[in-house]
Structure 1
Amino acid sequence: MSARKIAEWHDAGLIDAATRDRLTAYEAEHTHPLLLWAVWGIGALAIGLGVVSVVAANWEDIPGLLRLGVHFALLAGLLALLVWREQRLDEASPWAVEALLFVVAALGLTFFGHIGQVYQTSSPLWQPLATWLVLFGPLLLLTGRSWPSAIALLGGMVWCAWEYAGVMADAGISEDIGWSIWLALVVALPVMAAPIAAAMRARSWREDFWVTIEQLALTYAVAGASFASGFASIGAFEADPSAAKLAAVLTCAAVALVAGAGVAAVRPSVSGRMTGAILAGAGAAMVLAYAADDRNVAAALVFFALWAGIAAAALAAQWRGVFQVAVGAIAVRLVILSFELAADLLMSGFGLILSGVLILGIGWAAVRVSRRFAPAREDAA
């Protein structure tokens, strides 16, 4: 906060002179020398890039066992530092622990790739990802403090699940109903992190970490339902859908419904109930999208219903940002639908003019709706 801004607040009558002086003194005491920090950062970056360049230029000349030894020693040293000095690092800065944890997790993940390179081995990507989750997932769960650890953990779960499903689908077993249900469970499993995080956020001092886990799981479910409606508009489920595909869709929907019920049960506040309702709505939207396959308008209506429900939940829970995202998503889908229904108009100059006017009109309406109805405040999700 700048001294000029504090002076403006005082001149506008928002704060008195005593408050102005206290704010000024506090800011002067806690001001960071940005220029000095920038110089240190540039210097550290230059040294890091130089080291990387030297190692990369001589990579093949360095014995593989030596490279692995250095990699493992660095990983073990940082892990020991995290375990034995976590409290002191946290007292100095919680972000120091979070940054160190993220670096340790990244070194652990790349170590498996390094082993494969040295010993010239290969395996499906989901196998080292699964091993990394087993070894480093508990560490992230027990010590993660904010969004970097949460993204690493849930992102790793989603990545591993889709890699596994892709390998199995390429093997041709996804057409079997039993295997289709199993693969759908694997892909939908990250959504179940939502009720677990909802239960932990009230019991843990690392609330930010668990809140982010819950939000990421919710985002994953909503993204899946949104993509399902988009794929349905182009007939991705095929005109004659198989029983295996229907079983997979129903399985994913069931997982979302269970996750939504779990969040609402363990967090009965308005925010918790609305989160649960969105998860359940995402599950229902997947089934409706499957039924609307290869029908543009019907698939678009599923998308609109999903995001209109999200907007309604955001209003109830006072999530201003979520409401604005929902309005924007509906506006974008309206534009896409108009192009789908009148693609021939785009081949003429008059059609392009009409399309431009339509886009501007939808954008103007979205901004008006967002400003008029968006909650005045932002509550925690």
Structure 2
Amino acid sequence: MSARKIAAWHDAGLIDAGTRDRLLAYEAQHARPLALWAVFGIGALAIGLGLVSVVAANWEDIPGQLRLSVHFALIVTALGALFWREERLAAASPWAVEALLFVAAALGLTFFGHIGQVYQTSSPLWQPLAVWLALFAPLLLLMGRGWLTAAAVMGGMTWCAWEYVGANTGFGSAGGGGTDPAYLWLALVSALPVLAAPLAAAMRARSIRGDFWRRVEQLALAYAVGGASFACALASAGGFGEGGLSTEGVGMALRGAVAALAGLGVMLARPDVSGRMAGAIMVGAGAVMPLAHATDDLTLAVALLFMALWIGIAAAALVAHWRGVFQLSVGVIALRLIILSFELAGDLLASGFGLILSGLLILGVAWAAVRVSKAFAPRPEAET
């Protein structure tokens, strides 16, 4: 915070002279030499890039076993620092533990690819990902503190699940009847990441790392909403292509049921307003998935279904006072309205008059979205 800004606050009557002096003294005591830090950072980056360049240039000349030994030693060193110096690192900076934990997990993930390169082995990608999750996910869950490790856990789970599905079905291209047990199992696997939400919701009040569990819950919620939104986008393009009790239809219903059960679990684990609204969003996302399949290739119906989902998210955000989520929802709805106008008036776009009308519509929707966002968005609060 600059001294000029503090002086401006005092001149505007926002703070008194005593507060101004205390703020100036605090900033002077805790001032950070950013320019010097930048120089050190540039020097460290140059050294790191130089080392990477030297290793890359001589990669083939380094024996594979030596490379693996160094790689493994780096993992052991990072884990040893975490187990024996965690408290000291956390006292110095909580982000030091977070960064070191993420680096250890990243080294562990790349180690499997390194083994494959050295010994010329190959396997479906989901297998090393599953082994990595089995080895490192417990560590991340036990020691994670923020976004970085939460994203690593949820990203690894999602990546592994969809690699498994893709390796077995080509991402949903399997044949068979609507009650094919193999396909239902794969649909269940693809829905598993949402089950992290009730676990995280239950752990938030029981753990001193509440921020980490909050991030895990938010990412699981985003996965459910993203899945429902993608299902609507796929249906809008006629991507399902099958009606009735098809394989994909039953799979979407199963995914939706898992998301809805996860939402109910969040409600039970966190019965406050925020927990109930988060759970309600997941239940709504679960309901949208089979409905998207049922309205496949029905442009207007799918658009209304998509907007109903995001209107529900906006309503939940109003109740829970999530300003950012509300504004995001308004923006998404406005964008979908614009896309719908192009879908319904494709012939008009071939003429200059149609382009003018479309431009005016886009401006009108954007203006309305900004007005709604400013008028109804809740006050900024710490989102939970």
Question: Do the two structures share a fold, i.e. TM-score over 0.5?
Answer: yes
**Corresponding position of 1:235:** 238
**Corresponding position of 1:34:** 34
**Corresponding position of 1:167:** 167
**Corresponding position of 1:64:** 64
Aligned counterparts of 2:243 and 2:142: Cα–Cα separation in 1: 47
Offset of 1:56 from its aligned partner? 0.6
Aligned counterparts of 2:305 and 2:248: Cα–Cα separation in 1: 19
Offset of 1:240 from its aligned partner? 3.4
Report the residue type matching 1:18 in the other structure.
Answer: G
Offset of 1:247 from its aligned partner? 1.6
Offset of 1:66 from its aligned partner? 0.6
**Corresponding position of 1:375:** 378
In structure 1, stretches of 5+ residues that fail to align are none
Offset of 1:5 from its aligned partner? 1.2
1:148-167 equivalent positions in 2, closer than 5 A:
148-167=148-167
Offset of 1:101 from its aligned partner? 0.5
Offset of 1:163 from its aligned partner? 0.4
Supply the RMSD in Å over aligned alpha carbons: 1.2
Report the residue type matching 2:151 in the other structure.
Answer: I
Which of 354, 359, 363 is matched with 2:357 structurally? 354
Aligned counterparts of 2:230 and 2:140: Cα–Cα separation in 1: 29
Aligned counterparts of 1:142 and 1:97: Cα–Cα separation in 2: 12
1:47-126 equivalent positions in 2, closer than 5 A:
47-126=47-126
Report the residue type matching 2:321 in the other structure.
Answer: Q
- Compare 290-299 and 165-174 and name the one that shifted more: 165-174
Which of 197, 202, 206 is matched with 1:199 structurally? 202
Aligned counterparts of 1:178 and 1:296: Cα–Cα separation in 2: 31
Is the 8 Å Cα contact of residues 232 and 290 (structure 1) preserved in structure 2?
yes
**What is the aligned residue count?**
381
Report the residue type matching 1:264 in the other structure.
Answer: M
Offset of 1:358 from its aligned partner? 1.1
Aligned counterparts of 1:306 and 1:5: Cα–Cα separation in 2: 43
Is the 8 Å Cα contact of residues 249 and 294 (structure 2) preserved in structure 1?
no
**Corresponding position of 1:178:** 181
TM (norm. structure 2) is 0.97
Give the match's secondary structure for 2:379.
Answer: coil
Offset of 1:239 from its aligned partner? 4.2
**Corresponding position of 1:319:** 322
Offset of 1:359 from its aligned partner? 0.9
Aligned counterparts of 1:345 and 1:23: Cα–Cα separation in 2: 61
Give the match's secondary structure for 1:85.
Answer: helix
Is the 8 Å Cα contact of residues 175 and 245 (structure 1) preserved in structure 2?
no
Is the 8 Å Cα contact of residues 243 and 294 (structure 2) preserved in structure 1?
no
Aligned counterparts of 1:346 and 1:239: Cα–Cα separation in 2: 31
Per-residue CA distance 1:33-87 (angstroms, 9 max, x = gap):
1101110111111011011011111111111011101111111111111111000
Offset of 1:2 from its aligned partner? 1.1
Offset of 1:173 from its aligned partner? 5.2
Aligned counterparts of 2:290 and 2:236: Cα–Cα separation in 1: 14
Give the match's secondary structure for 2:303.
Answer: helix
Offset of 1:348 from its aligned partner? 2.0
1:222-261 equivalent positions in 2, closer than 5 A:
222-240=225-243, 243-261=246-264
**Corresponding position of 1:262:** 265
Offset of 1:243 from its aligned partner? 2.7
- Does residue 1:44 correspond to 2:47, yes or no? no
Aligned counterparts of 2:357 and 2:117: Cα–Cα separation in 1: 56
Aligned counterparts of 2:188 and 2:3: Cα–Cα separation in 1: 55
Which of 283, 294, 298 is matched with 1:295 structurally? 298
**Corresponding position of 1:219:** 222
Aligned counterparts of 1:82 and 1:247: Cα–Cα separation in 2: 45
Per-residue CA distance 1:337-367 (angstroms, 9 max, x = gap):
1111111222222222221111111111100
**Corresponding position of 1:14:** 14
Is the 8 Å Cα contact of residues 239 and 294 (structure 1) preserved in structure 2?
no
Offset of 1:291 from its aligned partner? 1.1
Is the 8 Å Cα contact of residues 191 and 221 (structure 1) preserved in structure 2?
yes
Report the residue type matching 2:72 in the other structure.
Answer: F
Report the residue type matching 2:325 in the other structure.
Answer: V
Offset of 1:281 from its aligned partner? 0.3
Give the match's secondary structure for 2:347.
Answer: helix
Is the 8 Å Cα contact of residues 256 and 287 (structure 2) preserved in structure 1?
yes
Assess, with a 3 A threshold, how the Cα gap between structure 1 residues 85 and 250 changes in structure 2: closer, same or farther.
same
Which of 281, 286, 289 is matched with 1:283 structurally? 286
Report the residue type matching 1:121 in the other structure.
Answer: T
**Corresponding position of 1:2:** 2
Aligned counterparts of 1:173 and 1:359: Cα–Cα separation in 2: 40
Report the residue type matching 2:124 in the other structure.
Answer: P
Offset of 1:174 from its aligned partner? 5.9
